[in-house]
Amino acid sequence: MNPFTLNIKGNLCEYTRPLVMGLLNATPDSFYAGSRAQSDAEIAARAARLVAEGADIIDIGAFSTRPGASEVSADDERARLDNAVRIVRSVAGDAMPLSVDTFRASVARSAVENCGADIINDVSGGNLDPDMFDTVADLRVPYILMHMRGTVADMMEYTAYEDVTRDVLSELGDRLQQLALMGVNDVIVDPGFGFSKTLEQNYRLLHDLRLFGLLHRPLLVGVSRKSMITRLLGVGTDDALNGTTVVNTLALDRGASILRVHDVAAARQAVDIYMATETDK
């Protein structure tokens, strides 16, 4: 990977090795039970584990994006997320960057302004809330721009690509240009594995991952225990850690800057082994 910087609360942080982003889902129905934390005590315990395992960033969500998940109102999502961010901050300390996983601009604004979140992680790439880009520009926080077509409910109806890699790159590039015109340059790109992509398309993106360097932005890869692994290997979510580690290692070798994972310790080992092979580190 190429070194990159993120502006975290006015501090320009430089990163010369891949980061591990640990997931915490303040939801009852996220697809992997191991990431769920609903009560205050469960949230605190999950946060403490992520810190102990060596997470560089903690990503907090309060709206499940798995197919068939229950709809959550903006008010309920905001209440869940604000509470979780405050708890995680108290456990993880002020130095830990906290990311909030939401496609709603008002929810993101509350988490940043009222609770001290540092990064906005938007699975819709600004497509589901017309106010998101303006909000990011106003808040001046790093923004994770993920590729997805459609909505969480119907995204798998939008898998008709002429060339999946070329089309995803083009669509992300268009959004990056919009953000740049608004003065937003602190952007991380995410190809959106599993979102509006078939099994074959996911692996084509993984094969072509080096091409995302053309966007000249840090690259986030989130494949942890997803169906692209479980379906290919014929295993359940609980048995998908080994497959996840293999895919993460391939992603690192192809330029990934950030791994978004349920299992921080395993991902950190993958990063350590990858870095040991880098002769120019």
Question: 46: phi > 0 → left, psi -120 to 50 → alpha, else beta; which?
Answer: alpha
Which of these is catalytic: 78, 104, 109, 260? 260
Mapping DSSP onto H, E and C, the string for 203-243 reads HHHHHCHHHHHHHCCCEEECCCCCHHHHHHHCCCHHHCHHH
Q: Cβ(89)–Cβ(98) under 8 Å?
A: yes
Q: Cβ(255)–Cβ(210) under 8 Å?
A: yes
| Phi, psi (rounded to 5 degrees) for 187 | -120, 135
Which of these is catalytic: 197, 226, 254, 268? 226
226 in catalytic set: yes
How far is Cα of residue 59 from the mean position of the Cα atoms in its chain?
A: 7
C-alpha distance from residue 218 to each of 101, 213, 237 (Å) = 17, 8, 28
254 in catalytic set: no
- Tell me the catalytic residues: 226, 260
